[in-house]
Amino acid sequence: MSWLNRLWSPWRLEYIKSSDNAKKECFICNASKRPADPESLVIYIDGFILIILNRYPYNNGHLMVAPINHKKDLEDLTSNEWNAIVKGLLLSKKVLDAIYKPQGYNIGMNIGKIAGAGLEDHLHLHIVPRWAGDTNFMTTISGTKVMAQTLREGWEIMRKEIEKLKA
């Protein structure tokens, strides 16, 4: 007798369907045009950068900081954009510290497809909050990540926290 456990995650179908869509507009550029829309997942935007929730996160609170201008190469960033990215990283950490109180972070860029970049043509920095045990038997044995909060809930509380920090 065989058995098979299922963990339903229908929201992943959007990702599967979109993976072959070469004509798809850059999601970061698209989000920067409608930052107040909850579907954009933008939690912060200024004249140089935006901070956006990762639609396919490794953990709750997985953020990305990206220049608003569509740039592929590090060398193309202006000093203002670089400074804004660093400030965005610090703001992201403050927000995540206040809301989620992570025990650590993974922070970095995947530049080029071979390095793991899902979006190769628009630079972005990942900030992934980490906790002891966030990779457990579900992740290790079944290749499944259990997410404790919806993206919409995370978007709402992070935008509120940014407003408090700006006040």
Digit-coded pLDDT (tens) for 114-146: 877 778 889 999 999 998 877 654 454 445 556
Is 68 inside a domain boundary? Answer: yes
Digit-coded pLDDT (tens) for 77-97: 999 999 999 999 999 999 999
What CATH number does residue 66 fall under? 3.30.428.10
**Stretch 44-54: mean pLDDT:** 96
Q: Percent of the chain scored above 70 by pLDDT?
A: 78
Tell me which long-range contacts 97-105 makes (C-beta under 8 A, separation of at least 24).
Answer: 98/161, 98/165, 99/61, 99/157, 99/158, 99/161, 100/60, 100/61, 100/129, 102/61, 102/129, 102/130, 102/131, 103/130, 103/131, 103/132, 104/129, 104/130, 104/131, 105/129, 105/130
Is 123 inside a domain boundary? Answer: yes
| Full domain range(s) for residue 101 | 41-162
Is 6 inside a domain boundary? Answer: no
Between CA 95 and CA 101 the distance in angstroms is: 9
pLDDT at 144: 57
Q: In terms of pLDDT, which residue wins out, 73 or 24? A: 73
Is 17 inside a domain boundary? Answer: no
Is 82 inside a domain boundary? Answer: yes
The total number of structural domains that make up the chain: 1
**Is residue 62 among the annotated active site residues?**
no
Is 7 inside a domain boundary? Answer: no
Options 62, 70, 122, 124, the catalytic residue? 124
Is 102 inside a domain boundary? Answer: yes
